[in-house]
């Protein structure tokens, strides 16, 4: 099935999604903080933090996987987006790596449905439109050669993000 048919867009709270894996926009410590990271840790329970503590952090652009515990999702894929520094510090490539590495980890773990938040567009200040284009193009590129992923859901927490994704999908 072509990639466009496997990509979905919803507005809402990623912690409520019933997919195999949700992606967390974490920081390099993987010990939680604010934004979607806080929401995921709050909904999953303290066992998630205990597992994250054993992972020894995660470099920007990389991804690591844990169980989902009390979340509807069975897995959480933690990825660390780039902090926006004006666009001359390789931010685009690192953001692309977040999506590629999260999807590769999903395939390795036989995950068929995965939900992404708008990585780096909150606290990390990555311009929303630019990040959206990278997110959508990277997912489409990956799905072209990976048929095992059946469903990718972009979860937008607000109307602005939702409209931006809608105009770019
Ligand atoms: N469900 C879906 N999306 C959410 C949710 C939620 N419950 N909460 C926030 N978001 C959205 C934000 O609106 C934003 O569009 O997730 C996107 C990413 O924003 P952040 O969570 O701030 O993540 P990011 O910009 O990547 O910054 C990461 O923030 O939370 C800390 O520990 C995290 O230090 C790290 C940094």
Residue 35 C-alpha to ligand 1 middle, in angstroms? 4
Q: 155 pLDDT band (50/70/90 cuts)?
A: very high
Fold assignment, 3-168: 3.40.220
> What length is written for the chain?
169
Are 38 and 32 spatial neighbours (Cβ–Cβ below 8 Å)?
A: yes
Q: Directed axis angle between helix 46-53 and helix 35-44, to 10°?
A: 110
Structure tokens at 150: 């059946």
Query: Which of ligand 1's atoms lies nearest the C-alpha of 34?
Result: 30
Write out pLDDT tens, residues 77-114: 999 999 999 999 999 999 999 999 999 999 999 999 99
Q: What is the pLDDT of residue 53?
A: 98
Indicate the domain borders of the chain: 3-168
Q: Does residue 3 have a pLDDT over 90?
A: no
Query: Which of ligand 1's atoms lies nearest the C-alpha of 128?
Result: 15
Nearest to 119 by CA among 48, 37, 40, 56: 37
Pocket of ligand 1 (CB under 6 A): 13-15, 25-27, 33-39, 81, 117-124, 155, 157-158, 161
Residue nearest to atom 8 of ligand 1 (CA): 36
Residue 92 C-alpha to ligand 1 middle, in angstroms? 17
Q: Does residue 26 have a pLDDT over 90?
A: yes
Q: 4 pLDDT band (50/70/90 cuts)?
A: confident
Mean pLDDT of the chain: 97
């Amino acid at each position: 099935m072509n990639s466009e048919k496997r990509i979905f867009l919803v507005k809402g709270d990623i912690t409520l999604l019933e997919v195999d894996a949700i992606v967390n926009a974490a920081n390099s410590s993987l010990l939680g903080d604010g934004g979607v990271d806080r929401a995921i840790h709050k909904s999953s329970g303290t066992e998630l933090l205990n597992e994250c503590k054993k992972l020894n952090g995660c470099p920007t652009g990389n991804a690591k996987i844990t169980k989902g515990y009390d979340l509807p999702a069975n897995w959480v894929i933690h990825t660390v987006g780039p902090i926006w520094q004006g666009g001359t510090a390789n931010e685009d490539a690192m953001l692309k790596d977040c999506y590629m590495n999260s999807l590769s980890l999903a395939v390795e773990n036989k995950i068929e449905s995965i939900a992404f938040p708008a990585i780096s567009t909150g606290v990390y200040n990555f311009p929303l439109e630019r990040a959206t284009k990278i997110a959508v193009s990277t997912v489409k590129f990956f799905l072209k050669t990976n048929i095992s992923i059946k469903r990718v859901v972009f979860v937008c927490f607000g109307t602005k993000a939702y409209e931006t994704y809608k105009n770019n999908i």
